[in-house]
Chain A
Amino acid sequence: MNYPFWDVPLIGSGWVIGTIAIFHVVISHFAIGGGFYLPIAERKALAEGRADWMEILRNHSRFFLILTGVFGAVSGVGIWFSIGLAHPEATSTLIHNFVFAWAIEWVFFVVELTAAAVYYYTWGKLDSRTHLKVGWVYALSSWMSLVIINGILTFMLTPGERWLSVAGSGNEASAFWSAFFNPTYWPSLFLRTLVMISLAGIFALFTAAAIDGYERPQLKTEIVRWSSRWLVPSFVLMPFFFAWYLFSVPESQRQLLQLGISTIGQGTFTQVTRAALVSVMTSATIVAIVYFVAYKQARSFSRGWAWTILLLAVAATAATEQAREMLRKPYVIGNHMYSNGIRTSEVASFNEAGYLTNSIWLREDERRSLQDGGSRLAAGELIFRGQCASCHTRDGYRSMRRLLQGRNRQAIENLLGVLHRSEANSTYRFMPPLVGSKQEIEALADYLENMVTEPVRTAGL
């Protein structure tokens, strides 16, 4: 039984999604922010009669088209593949609830891709007013794709009381709009729009860095400084929108952040707090470097520095997205489905009748073998794959062997007991409850004990 529990050694399935998603988020946000940058810059260049600006913008639009149209689109499909494999239940829930929204997003997506291609290939072929209009068509259609996908992404954190009240009834469609415009929809939309504007500036700096500052000092200085200013809205407004976002998140999730802040000293602070702090630190560093290295020394601003800023932006994006994902713990869909695909409504029945007995992913021969008193280790492994492996690996990321190192059988059983009871004040509150019958939990303890006592090969670093 591997599918639907996708077993990725060392990095785990979460990081497969994470790696693709970080890449995709950076490019897709640039695809929208950059979509506004191009027509606004073109409009400015037209108004001021700057042919030299137009030449740079044309180059930038080619870079833009290749990066967003190829890598952005391909990585978007990659996310679909990976979430379908890692979280089939959650993906299924999203598709069943938002298929109509996705259809609308795809309409905007097709318009967006077409407009981007037309915009680049018609430089100098269309009259300037029409060309500018194509740029605006692109900008607005790309932003509309965010308007749609933002509803689905924020739904996963805060589906809202109305949708939760009909979840599982077959009548979910009646709560479509409240699920879509859920409590974190608006702050998230504004936050993402700010990030897009910043990324537009950062990628424009990348193109501007290639201008020879000694041969064309005025042009380079103007473009570098103008692009740097695109980071100002984020710098000024981000803290306010971030606070709004946090206050829209349910108290139980916000407590994860508070728990992390209060335990920093002891070193037990949560992953979400670590990621949130990294996000704040890298974002502040970007602003400082853009000001001191790009804005103040525009003429000598080099590609090396553009790369540095871009890599910091990737780190900031990764940390922010990780913090957002972690804030949702222990759920993959807030208060509806845990991060291992078990619905909150299924916990009682799984505890009573057994997790494996209820699992729809078990083959019949596996089920019969377990019912006939088959290997407890095999049963333990199935439970591990089903309930632990969506977040933990054996030897790599969040390694179970490392986390359980030094624990004997009794200590493992105690830990499983805490997870099974899922106490509200437990430090494991970011983990889903362990579900299953008494025998199944013992089987899992067998499996984990066996895993811990196997010889470990440890790296020096």
Chain B
Amino acid sequence: MQTSLWRSRKVLVWLDERLALTELLEYARHKTVPEHKHSFWYYWGGISMFFFLIQVFTGVLLMVYYRPGAESYESVREITYDIRFGWLIRSAHSWSANLMVLAVFIHMFSVFFMKAYRKPREFGWWSGLALLALTMTFGFSGYLLPMDELAYFATKVGLELPASLPLVGKFINDVVRGGPEVGSVTIQRFFALHVVVLPLIFIPVLAFHLWLVQKHGNALPPSEEQKPIAERRSIPFFPDFFSKDLAMWLVALNVLAILASLYPWQLGPQADPLAPAPAGIHPEWYFMSQFQLLKLFGRWFPGVTGEVLGLVFFTLILLLWAIVPLYDTGTAAGRRAKVATWFGITVLALLIVTTIWGYWEVL
């Protein structure tokens, strides 16, 4: 027993001399995380990353059996019904994708309302927005891969969004589809995008984002910032916050396991491009707001004007959302701070209302 302990200590010392583990541990012990009544929102970045790791793990397992192209539906059918535990891996992949999008949205809004985009965290905000856009593209490209009826028609509907862009819309659509219609070439393109191109962009952006979080630490919400330094509270990152973060990952894993096992992801009938689209077809929930907004503008302003106005409106909001750190630079009580908060509330309300409205119309 003593010999084995001595050996493991020797291994640790050997590693420490080469990797400076003690230094790292000391750093982690000295690093602190603010503690206040809004601390709950600090966990959402970690939860988003946890679901991303699940995506990578289950995605690699699915790749072992998935065959992009003409056989894609058959291979997903085999994964779901023939291969042992295939249904669970696929279900976990699909559910964690949705949970990841949800977690990233919650993370973004919590950062917004805690004003964690202010100096010096502007690049954290922008890299976060890039990660959200990439996450949504992951979702969109992955949704087509089973090539069942829903995936096929929802992708067709989803591609109407870039198609409505003036000048470049048609070009983008042709490149993405690989032809005039969604087909097996599209699946191969989406697959390449999903498993190679997007991860190649996502991982460096994520590393940059995490480095910034590490560099600047967790931001204090305005209500805490106003307190004198002596009254501010914090806990050590290691082991206190670290163990809580892991506990939150465990909770996230529970949520995922409950959804994936009790509500396994379904596979619909094989897509038939010649068949009429089923009633009520629509894109995934995280594109519903944009989809509904474009529909509404098209309805209010018939013809091309509606589409263009819808896109202008949408682009304007996105632009304002992105440049908020350059506008709201002042103190908590400043006028610009209030304007930014109201802008955030409006955007959140718009997202929720148009999403519900969209589902109300199609279901």
Known: A274-B261, A457-B280, A458-B268. A297 touches B150 (CB 8 A): no
The listed residue (B35, B150, B261, B281) touching A277 by CB distance below 8 A is B261
Q: Which residue of B lies closest to A292 (CB)?
A: B243
CB-defined contacts of A406 to chain B, threshold 8 Å: 269
- Complex contact B84–A265 (CB within 8 A): yes
Within 127-146 of A, Cβ neighbours of B (below 8 Å) are at: none
- Complex contact B254–A281 (CB within 8 A): yes
- Complex contact B269–A455 (CB within 8 A): no
CB-defined contacts of A458 to chain B, threshold 8 Å: 150, 268, 278, 280-281
Within 55-100 of B, Cβ neighbours of A (below 8 Å) are at: 80-81, 84-88, 98
- Complex contact B254–A300 (CB within 8 A): no
The listed residue (B84, B240, B247, B284) touching A289 by CB distance below 8 A is B247
Known: A292-B243, A458-B268. A302 touches B39 (CB 8 A): yes
Q: Which residue of A lies closest to B258 (CB)?
A: A278
Within 225-277 of B, Cβ neighbours of A (below 8 Å) are at: 233, 235, 240, 243-244, 246-248, 250-251, 254, 257-258, 261-262, 264, 266, 268-269
Q: Report how far A271 CA is from B258 CA in the complex, Å.
A: 12
Q: Report how far A274 CA is from B262 CA in the complex, Å.
A: 6
Q: Report how far A402 CA is from B269 CA in the complex, Å.
A: 11
CB-defined contacts of A405 to chain B, threshold 8 Å: 269
Q: Report how far A304 CA is from B251 CA in the complex, Å.
A: 13
CB distance from B134 to the nearest CB of A (A): 21
By secondary structure, the A interface counts as helix
- Complex contact B363–A214 (CB within 8 A): no
* A275 on the B face (CB < 8 A): yes
Q: Report how far A305 CA is from B43 CA in the complex, Å.
A: 12
CB distance from A362 to the nearest CB of B (A): 34
CB-defined contacts of A289 to chain B, threshold 8 Å: 247, 250-251
* A236 on the B face (CB < 8 A): no
- Complex contact B254–A282 (CB within 8 A): yes
CB-defined contacts of B208 to chain A, threshold 8 Å: none
CB-defined contacts of B283 to chain A, threshold 8 Å: 460
CB-defined contacts of A267 to chain B, threshold 8 Å: 80-81, 85-88, 264
* A360 on the B face (CB < 8 A): no
CB-defined contacts of A266 to chain B, threshold 8 Å: 81, 84, 87
- Complex contact A460–B154 (CB within 8 A): yes
Known: A292-B247, A302-B39, A312-B254. A275 touches B87 (CB 8 A): no
- Complex contact A278–B39 (CB within 8 A): no
Q: Report how far A288 CA is from B244 CA in the complex, Å.
A: 11
Q: Which residue of A lies closest to B88 (CB)?
A: A267
- Complex contact B235–A457 (CB within 8 A): no
CB-defined contacts of A404 to chain B, threshold 8 Å: none
The listed residue (B40, B243, B281) touching A296 by CB distance below 8 A is B243
CB distance from A296 to the nearest CB of B (A): 7
Interface string of A441-461 (1 = CB under 8 A from B): 000000000000001111111
CB distance from A197 to the nearest CB of B (A): 22
| Among A282, A308, A460, residue most surrounded by chain B Cβ atoms (within 10 Å) | A460
- Complex contact B261–A278 (CB within 8 A): yes
The listed residue (A277, A296, A300, A312) touching B251 by CB distance below 8 A is A312
* A315 on the B face (CB < 8 A): yes
Known: A278-B262, A281-B254, A461-B98. A293 touches B243 (CB 8 A): yes
Q: Report how far A88 CA is from B45 CA in the complex, Å.
A: 50
Within 335-354 of A, Cβ neighbours of B (below 8 Å) are at: none
Q: Which residue of A lies closest to B43 (CB)?
A: A304
Interface string of A282-316 (1 = CB under 8 A from B): 10010011001100110010101100100010010
* B282 on the A face (CB < 8 A): yes
Q: Report how far A461 CA is from B288 CA in the complex, Å.
A: 11
Q: Which residue of B lies closest to A304 (CB)?
A: B40
- Complex contact B39–A304 (CB within 8 A): yes
Q: Which residue of A lies closest to B288 (CB)?
A: A460
- Complex contact B282–A460 (CB within 8 A): yes
CB-defined contacts of B244 to chain A, threshold 8 Å: 292-293, 297, 305
* B109 on the A face (CB < 8 A): no
- Complex contact A457–B279 (CB within 8 A): yes
CB distance from A311 to the nearest CB of B (A): 9
- Complex contact A460–B251 (CB within 8 A): no
* B285 on the A face (CB < 8 A): yes
The listed residue (B80, B251, B363) touching A459 by CB distance below 8 A is B363
Known: A267-B88, A285-B254, A459-B363. A275 touches B262 (CB 8 A): yes
Interface string of B181-195 (1 = CB under 8 A from A): 000000000000000
CB-defined contacts of A282 to chain B, threshold 8 Å: 254, 258
Interface string of A251-284 (1 = CB under 8 A from B): 0000000000000111100010011011001100
Q: Report how far A274 CA is from B91 CA in the complex, Å.
A: 14
CB distance from A399 to the nearest CB of B (A): 11
Q: Report how far A402 CA is from B266 CA in the complex, Å.
A: 10
| Among B235, B247, B262, B280, residue most surrounded by chain A Cβ atoms (within 10 Å) | B247
CB-defined contacts of B278 to chain A, threshold 8 Å: 455-458
- Complex contact B247–A293 (CB within 8 A): yes
CB-defined contacts of B87 to chain A, threshold 8 Å: 266-267
The listed residue (A214, A300, A302, A455) touching B279 by CB distance below 8 A is A455
Q: Report how far A456 CA is from B262 CA in the complex, Å.
A: 23
The listed residue (A214, A271, A278, A297) touching B240 by CB distance below 8 A is A297
CB distance from A270 to the nearest CB of B (A): 12
Q: Which residue of A lies closest to B243 (CB)?
A: A292
CB-defined contacts of A265 to chain B, threshold 8 Å: 84-85
- Complex contact B250–A288 (CB within 8 A): yes
Q: Report how far A302 CA is from B248 CA in the complex, Å.
A: 13
CB distance from B105 to the nearest CB of A (A): 15
CB-defined contacts of A288 to chain B, threshold 8 Å: 247, 250
CB-defined contacts of A315 to chain B, threshold 8 Å: 254, 258
Q: Report how far A51 CA is from B126 CA in the complex, Å.
A: 53
Q: Report how far A405 CA is from B262 CA in the complex, Å.
A: 20
CB-defined contacts of A304 to chain B, threshold 8 Å: 39-40
Q: Report how far A457 CA is from B269 CA in the complex, Å.
A: 14
CB distance from A393 to the nearest CB of B (A): 15
Write 24 A-B pairs (CB below 8 A) sorted by A numbering.
A264-B85, A267-B80, A267-B81, A267-B87, A271-B262, A274-B261, A278-B257, A281-B257, A282-B258, A285-B251, A288-B247, A297-B244, A302-B39, A302-B40, A305-B247, A319-B258, A456-B279, A457-B280, A458-B268, A458-B278, A458-B280, A458-B281, A460-B284, A461-B98
The 6 closest A-B pairs by CB, nearest first: A267-B87, A265-B84, A457-B280, A304-B40, A457-B279, A289-B247
**Residues of chain A at the chain B interface (Cβ within 8 Å):** 214, 264-267, 271, 274-275, 277-278, 281-282, 285, 288-289, 292-293, 296-297, 300, 302, 304-305, 308, 312, 315, 319, 402, 405-406, 455-461
A-B contact sample (13 more), CB < 8 A, given A266-B84, A289-B251, A293-B247: A266-B87, A267-B80, A267-B87, A278-B258, A278-B262, A282-B258, A285-B250, A292-B244, A292-B247, A300-B235, A456-B279, A459-B359, A460-B285
**Residues of chain B at the chain A interface (Cβ within 8 Å):** 35, 39-40, 80-81, 84-88, 98, 150, 154, 233, 235, 240, 243-244, 246-248, 250-251, 254, 257-258, 261-262, 264, 266, 268-269, 278-285, 359, 362-363
